[in-house]
Amino acid sequence: GAGVSQTPSNKVTEKGKYVELRCDPISGHTALYWYRQSLGQGPEFLIYFQGTGAADDSGLPNDRFFAVRPEGSVSTLKIQRTERGDSAVYLCASSPGPNQPQHFGDGTRLSIL
């Protein structure tokens, strides 16, 4: 079956611009997660959705970052006034429910010039 799909696969933009990253989870998975991976590091948790609501957004680094999942399926991670330090691979994962193995997409590589 189809896995987690993330678009775009690559995004290059200038400092100060707004970006949206999309995640389409595995069908039927109620739990959705966003992580960020910097070079040489493991993925770091950003936010967790159970259904439509953000159950935990404690990993979002600041208020420039926001994520939504309005219908409990597709999610969008939004970054305002991008900074060069936001450059990283943004990974989305989904699972049938919390506390079950998370399945990752291939990520969006974001580069801020």
Partner 1 sequence: DQQVKQNSPSLSVQEGRISILNCDYTNSMFDYFLWYKKYPAEGPTFLISISSIKDKNEDGRFTVFLNKSAKHLSLHIVPSQPGDSAVYFCAASGSGSGAGSYQLTFGKGTKLSVIP
CB 36 within 8 A of CB 44: yes
Question: Which is closer to partner 1, CB of 16 or CB of 61?
Answer: 61
Q: Taking CB under 8 A as the rule, does residue 4 contact partner 1? A: yes
Q: How far apart are CA 43 and CA 93, in angstroms?
A: 11
With CB under 8 A as the contact rule, the residue among 102, 110, 111, 112 that binds partner 1 is 102
Peptide bond into 8 cis (omega under 30): yes
Q: Which residue has 């987690």 as its token pair?
A: 4
Q: How far apart are CA 71 and CA 14, in angstroms?
A: 31
Number of shown-chain residues binding partner 1 (CB under 8 A): 27
Smallest distance from the beta carbon of 49 to partner 1, in angstroms? 10
Q: Taking CB under 8 A as the rule, does residue 20 contact partner 1? A: no
Would you give the end-to-end CA distance of the chain in angstroms? 37
Q: Taking CB under 8 A as the rule, does residue 64 contact partner 1? A: no
Contact residues for partner 1 (CB under 8 A)? 4, 6, 31, 33, 35, 40-45, 48, 55-56, 58-59, 91, 93, 98-99, 101-107
